[in-house]
Structure 1
Amino acid sequence: MSQPSVSPASILAATVAMTGLASPAVAQAMTPVQARQTIAPFYEMLNQPASKDIQALAEQILSPEWKSYASETEYKGRDAFVGQVVGFGKLIPDLKWDVKEVMVDGNRIIVRSEASGTPTGPLFGVPVSGKSFRIMTIDIHIIENGKAVTAHHVEDWAGAIRQLTAK
């Protein structure tokens, strides 16, 4: 007779229930639906940003100490990020960030999305051609007390440049 399979998550849940102790990860765990709702204002900022109040959306979702990491050591704060998003909104009026998948791991929200748009000015040194781009992006947001405190992200901007310069 085979033994029933027991997952590490069920062991952790049973331990927490028996001891009355909750770890921070368990206390802050979200469902995928809650994660999608929590992070929605972030992606709202990125969709046609020239048409909205980016600062207000940033204050809704990002803690004042929020850091956006493009590498292990390089980051920008909330105000610099707001300025960048406003700049992208002017340069790419139809910018769209389409969320494809949301995953949750404790207080981390992992988002796979697709960014697309048609630049109306030079983008990363590429002159205006009327062409559009469509690239994959991955973000890992860390949430504390209902607000994002960090984001680690990767966007395929090299792919955008290839698409904009293709003959």
Structure 2
Amino acid sequence: MTSILRITFALCTVIMCKQNSFSQVTNRSLEKSNKMDNTKQKELIYFLYDTVFLKKRYEKLSELISPDYINQFGAKGAAGFQETIFELTKAFPDAQWEVNEIIADGNKVVVKQKFSGTHKNQFQNIPPTNRAVSVDGIVTYEFKNGKITGSQIQTDRLGFLQQLGVLPIDLANLSNKKENGDEIHFIDKFSVPKASVEEFVERMNYNRVFIKTLPGFISDQVFEQKDNEGNLVIITIAVWENQDKLNQAKTTVQTEYKRIAFNPVEFYKRLNIKMERGQYSKFKE
């Protein structure tokens, strides 16, 4: 009986050792495969910047961009990716991209980049200023089956607008515009659930930067009230020179929303945000 137990124990030990060895070999193989995938993905990103962006070899995009890629306007594939690049290179004909660092992890590659160029043609709602800009940014590219399926960029938009002269270096100067009695105070009140606060604030900040670039803008303020559960009430007040300037701003904002495929009604509904809006002029005694 003792002999049988010893033999059984020995067999179990051998089987466990083989399983552990197989597991270790499998893990090493996966690690090696991931390293190879990451290396390949980084090579593709270098190719994207060096050959496509800098040498304008846009016909190569089909080798890099997945048909499943969708840009911020809803356009798909290589054509959708190229559309975004064309918007920049048209406005900044001497556009340059400098790669400072590339980090690959899993199916994502993060690029620290610097964009520079001279503003020769209209960019979005900004007429040409002939000013040179240089801004840092971080782009995250997502891969699947060896091709780019998505990209997200975070850049210094405030610094970009300041370099173009659209916004002053000292933002306090925005409040120095004199009121003459014709001003319109455009007031929004938002009731924001706790779970939606972060996404709402990100959108609000984008809008605040954007409206500061529009003719007739004087100033804006934001007030908040938070309850014990973290829900937020936010009131925004934007002051415009007169009704005509406000009407022009509304049209420009709607055009921008259409350009970036943003639907405010769907946005507020999805985040369960309630909004009240009104516009007021100064009381004349």
Give the counterpart letter for 1:67 in structure 2. Answer: I
Flag the structure with larger Rg: 2
User: Is the 8 Å Cα contact of residues 101 and 111 (structure 1) preserved in structure 2?
Assistant: yes
2:52 paired residue among 40, 45, 56? 45
1:61 paired residue among 55, 61, 64? 64
Cα-to-partner distance string for 1:106-160 (whole Å, 9 max, x where unaligned):
2211111011100111223333232111111111112222211222222223321
Distance 1:156 1:24 in 2: 38
Distance 1:15 1:152 in 2: 41
Shift of 1:162: 0.9
Q: Does the alignment pair 1:115 with 2:118?
A: no
* Count of aligned pairs: 146
Structure 1 stretch 102-111 or stretch 123-132: which is displaced more? Answer: 123-132
- How high is the TM-score relative to the length of structure 2? 0.43
Distance 1:17 1:75, change over 3 A: farther
Matches within 5 A, 1:97-136: 97-136=97-136
Structure 1 stretch 155-164 or stretch 104-113: which is displaced more? Answer: 155-164
Shift of 1:85: 1.6
Cα-to-partner distance string for 1:18-73 (whole Å, 9 max, x where unaligned):
2636897873334875443121233243336xxx342x22201111112346xxxx
Distance 1:26 1:143, change over 3 A: farther
Distance 1:127 1:25 in 2: 51
- How high is the TM-score relative to the length of structure 1? 0.69
> Could you say which structure has the higher helix fraction?
2
Structure 1 stretch 139-148 or stretch 32-41: which is displaced more? Answer: 32-41
Structure 2 partner of 1:161: 161
Q: Which structure would you say has the larger RCO, counting Cα contacts within 8 Å and 6 or more residues apart?
A: 1
Q: Identity over the aligned pairs, expressed in percent?
A: 21
User: Is the 8 Å Cα contact of residues 135 and 156 (structure 1) preserved in structure 2?
Assistant: yes
Cα-to-partner distance string for 1:50-103 (whole Å, 9 max, x where unaligned):
xx342x22201111112346xxxx865332331232232222111111110001
User: Is the 8 Å Cα contact of residues 16 and 22 (structure 1) preserved in structure 2?
Assistant: no
Give the counterpart letter for 2:48 in structure 1. Answer: F
Give the counterpart letter for 1:137 in structure 2. Answer: G
2:24 paired residue among 7, 15, 18? 18
Structure 2 partner of 1:80: 80
Q: Secondary structure at the match of 2:67?
A: strand
Q: CA RMSD in A?
A: 3.2
Structure 2 partner of 1:29: 35
